Amino acid sequence: MAATSKFKAACVIGWPVEHSRSPLIHSYWITKYGLNAEYRREAVPPEQFEEFVRGLAARGYVGANVTIPNKEAARALSKADDRADKVGASNTLWLDGSTLRSTNTDVEGFINNLDASAAGWNRGLDTAVVMGAGGTARAVVYALSERSVKHIHVVNRTLDRAIALREEFGKCVNPVRWEELGGLLGGAGVLVNATSLGMIGKPPLTVNLARLPASAVVADAVYAPLETALLAAARTRGLRTVDGLGMLLHQAVPGFELWFGVRPEVTPELRALVEADLLRNQA
Ligand code: NAP
């Protein structure tokens, strides 16, 4: 099949782009499924992004991932779906005939990882606490509201950004200050870190998890380190944990399917491959 099918290429566009794990993930799947395809890195400075994206087809690409700092521009330059519009950013572009479309796969990445890593997490659940109000938090809130979580407390340093989420997603979102976090944990079925706190090189995230119910699930979008201090504390308390690496792997699935027509699987082998790469780079 691979020898006769038409060659397809996709890429990740970023500035910088060396840090991206997308080539590792997509190249693994291309080999696994025996596709006549290639996934490349494209370092494109912001001032050249528009010209690059408009010439995607001419450069031989069927689509692309977009990483920092061009996700907002990617949405503006394409026909974005509801997810990308509500999140305010697109991380995946694809050509549908001559129309350039885009979506935000962090929504699916977050929720599919939660489903895969903490089955039944939403059984009887009506309250979640999300820390952060940036791009990742918007994707998390979109995903939780799609699953009909009734109360989503959004805790953020800059309260205005949490208020903006309420304006976008409606009454299910309750914007709160950090000082109020402790009092909310007793009723939370899910606690999500969608800030950059706890990431290598960033300030630590210190949350006292004592009040969380024993059935609560704790998820972290941060994947460097693989086990954040938040997840380690949750594990010590015997709570179920869901890590950021799983989200990273699951968010890659829809793009691969859109470009190459095969829905790839997130396997323990793929996870081990990316985990080893992350650990090598953290050493
Ligand atoms: P972002 O849009 O820049 O938002 C950063 C968030 O962190 C904001 O809510 C910000 O609060 C908060 N924050 C930053 N420094 C803080 C501090 N010192 N004290 C209190 N709050 C602070 O970033 P993002 O794109 O959402 O990314 C957030 C994290 O998610 C990053 O670590 C990123 O690597 C990770 N991520 C993971 C995946 C995955 O697939 N696993 C995907 C996307 C992102 P303010 O609003 O007050 O500034």
| Ligand 1 binding pocket includes 193 (Cβ within 6 Å) | no
Kindly tell me if the per-residue pLDDT of 3 is higher than 60: no
Let me know if residue 2 belongs to a domain: no
- The encoded tokens of residue 242 equal 């869901």
CATH code of the domain containing 14: 3.40.50.10860
| Ligand 1 binding pocket includes 59 (Cβ within 6 Å) | no
User: Distance, CA 132 to ligand 1 centroid (Å)?
Assistant: 6
Ligand 1 binding pocket mutation candidate from 157, 228, 230, 266 (most atoms within 8 A of CB): 157
- In a shared domain, residues 165 and 53: no
Kindly tell me if the per-residue pLDDT of 2 is higher than 80: no
Residue with tokens 């950021």: 244
CATH code of the domain containing 222: 3.40.50.720
Task: Output the pLDDT for position 68.
Answer: 85
| Ligand 1 binding pocket includes 156 (Cβ within 6 Å) | yes
- Given a contact cutoff of 8 angstroms between Cβ atoms, the answer to whether 12 and 30 are in contact is no
Q: Which among 8, 71, 79, 171 is annotated as catalytic?
A: 71
CA 147/CA 65 separation, integer angstroms: 26
CA distances to 33, 92, 131, 204 from 138, rounded to whole Å, are 33, 16, 11, 22
- The encoded tokens of residue 110 equal 């977050």
71 is annotated as an active-site residue: yes
Per-residue pLDDT, averaged over 167-191, amounts to 97
Query: pLDDT tens across 63-109, in order?
Result: 999 998 899 999 999 999 999 999 999 999 999 999 999 999 999 99
- In a shared domain, residues 128 and 154: yes
Ligand 1: residue whose CA is nearest its atom 43: 136
Let me know if residue 276 belongs to a domain: yes
Number of domains in the chain: 2
CA 175/CA 172 separation, integer angstroms: 10
Task: Output the pLDDT for position 5.
Answer: 85
pTM attached to this predicted model: 0.96
Let me know if residue 3 belongs to a domain: no
- The encoded tokens of residue 113 equal 């990882």
DSSP labels, 23-44: HHHHHHHHHHTT-SEEEEEEE-
- In a shared domain, residues 121 and 232: yes
- The encoded tokens of residue 206 equal 């210190």
* pLDDT, mean over the chain: 96
| End-to-end CA separation in angstroms for the chain | 40
- In a shared domain, residues 28 and 148: no
Kindly tell me if the per-residue pLDDT of 49 is higher than 80: yes
Let me know if residue 263 belongs to a domain: yes
Report which ligand 1 atom has the smallest distance to the Cα of 198: 32
Strands 92-96 and 8-14 come out as unpaired
Query: pLDDT tens across 7-16, in order?
Result: 999 999 999 9
- In a shared domain, residues 67 and 117: no
Query: Helix-strand-coil percent breakdown of the chain, rounded to 5?
Result: 40, 20, 40
| Ligand 1 binding pocket includes 197 (Cβ within 6 Å) | yes
Up-side HSE of residue 132: CA atoms within 13 Å toward CB?
Answer: 21
- In a shared domain, residues 175 and 55: no
Q: How many CB atoms lie within 10 A of CB 243?
A: 22
- In a shared domain, residues 57 and 111: no
Q: Which domain holds residue 100?
A: 8-104+248-282
| Ligand 1 binding pocket includes 248 (Cβ within 6 Å) | yes
